[in-house]
Amino acid sequence: ASSNHRPLHRAIRLTRTEGDVGYVMSRLLLEHGANPNMDGETPLHDAASCASPAAVGLLLAHRADPNAVNPNGQTPLHAVCRRMLFSPSDAQEQVVEALLAGGADPLRRDSAGLLPVDYA
């Protein structure tokens, strides 16, 4: 099944603030064994793309890998920086800060040889 159809991915995409229904569902899934580090486009990539600091924080607290790469060699930091190019927001800046504090490597290049900052 596509990663977009996995329960944790769906719940993460619904998460906007700590305590909302998406956050609660995500937390319950993680507490009951959902894998935050599945291959490919991880839930952390989704949380970064959706600019959800609450979801990013929750996933990092459950040991999501901030340097996991998708099929294009992009990390969650690449994902949020791609979004910043079109519509920068405070939430995106908070996601960048959370990812960096969680150990994201800002010097990691994707398959095209680009750094996250190259997309911002």
| Cβ proximity of 12 and 55 under 8 Å | yes
pTM attached to this predicted model? 0.90
Domains and CATH numbers, the chain: 3-119 (1.25.40.20)
Decide if pLDDT at 1 tops 70: no
78-104 residue pLDDT tens: 999 998 888 889 999 999 999 999 999
- pLDDT of 85: 80
| Cβ proximity of 15 and 22 under 8 Å | yes
* Nearest residue to 44 via CA among 3, 1, 85: 3
When pLDDT is averaged across residues 42-67 and rounded to a whole number, the result is 97
Decide which of 110 and 4 is more confident.
Answer: 110
When pLDDT is averaged across residues 11-25 and rounded to a whole number, the result is 94
Instruction: For residue 64, give every residue at least 6 positions away whose Cβ sits within 8 Å of its Cβ, in sequence order, or none.
Output: 36, 37, 42, 43, 44
Residue whose pair of structure tokens reads 């064994």 in the numeric block:
33
- pLDDT of 5: 57
Stated length of the chain: 120
